[in-house]
Amino acid sequence: MHFQNLSNGNFGKICSELCSPRRHRGRSGVCFFARSWSPDGAKRKFTLRSLCLCGENRFGFTLLEILIAMFIFAVVLSTIYTSYTGTFRIVDETESQADIYAMARVALERMQEDLESVYIPLKGEKSPELDEGQADDEEGAFVGEDNEIEGRSTDSLRFISRAHLVFSEEASGTAEIAYYVEEDNEGEGFVLYRTDTPASEEKSEEGTGGLVLCDSLVSVNFTYHDDDGEVYENWDSTSDEFSDRIPRMVSIILEFENSADPEAPFKFLTRVALPVSQG
């Protein structure tokens, strides 16, 4: 019990009592009220409405309100998570595509430079880089083979070029350039290799060694065009059909894996005009 001066200037005390359900629309509660004594000695009761702790003024949440709040929170959180993961997926796909475009550009530029410097000696002519006794019946051969692995094109090509990678003056001159395809041991795609063997060095076994030109390939296809524009899937300058001749133009198609849509691989095409075509 606490006594204090009330707002009406009288002296009294603040008490509490249970409110009647009728007073608060069927809800029970606790109200604080003040009893005061007036100068004439009569007791007067004043209810402090601001301190009423009735059921209709209690602060709290029902189970239904909590469930609704949790549902809204879950919806918002799932939306944010979807947007977050979607953004990172787009970033990863964009970076992957950028890497593929850069790899394809470098590979095609290297192959174009090699082919534009192709070298075919005349009949009876021997490459000056060969010593006596090193003559080879296939010296200067331009050979393109149409190969397949699991139904996908994996063509190979070898020829003599003056544009091989030179690391010293002693290694300058002509070299045999070869491209061949092998299955990727770390994935499902193919790897395109490039070998560069100077004419003065012993040739390695065909389809071995070399450096990776590009990977993640779906297919590699070479086609050859003669002087009349006819297209061939194979070319062998040592055969009777193409005796000591090289094609007028070589078409190169590289297809790379597309992780976003495996049925639509990235395709890059270029055509290289060779400098000479002997008849």
Mean pLDDT value across residues 98-107? 93
Q: Buried b vs exposed e over 187-211: b needs ≥16 C-beta within 10 Å?
A: eebbbbbbbbbbbbeeeeeeeeebe
Confidence band, pLDDT 50/70/90 cuts, at residue 235: very high
Let me know whether 8 and 135 are in one domain.
Answer: no
- Among 57, 73, 93, the domain-final residue is 57
Let me know whether 145 and 253 are in one domain.
Answer: yes
Let me know whether 124 and 184 are in one domain.
Answer: yes
Is residue 175 in a domain? Answer: yes
Which pLDDT value is given to residue 49?
A: 45
Is residue 191's pLDDT more than 90? Answer: yes
Beta strand segments in the chain, E = 2-5, 11-19, 29-37, 43-54, 143-145, 148-149, 152-153, 156-161, 175-183, 190-198, 211-225, 231-232, 235-236, 249-256, 266-273
- Domain housing 197: 105-273
Is residue 274's pLDDT more than 70? Answer: yes
Confidence band, pLDDT 50/70/90 cuts, at residue 278: very low
Contacts of 262 (CB under 8 A, 6+ apart): none
φ, ψ of residue 55 to 5 degrees: the values are -60, -35
Percentage of the residues of the chain whose pLDDT score is greater than 90: 35
Quick: pLDDT tens for 211-230: 899 999 999 999 999 988 89
In the beta sheet, which residues pair with residue 3?
A: 13
Number of domains the chain contains: 2
Least confident among 27-41, 168-182, 249-263: 27-41
Mean pLDDT in the chain? 76
CB 3 within 8 A of CB 23: no
Let me know whether 144 and 254 are in one domain.
Answer: yes
Is residue 76 in a domain? Answer: no
Least confident among 6-20, 168-182, 203-217: 6-20
Let me know whether 128 and 263 are in one domain.
Answer: yes
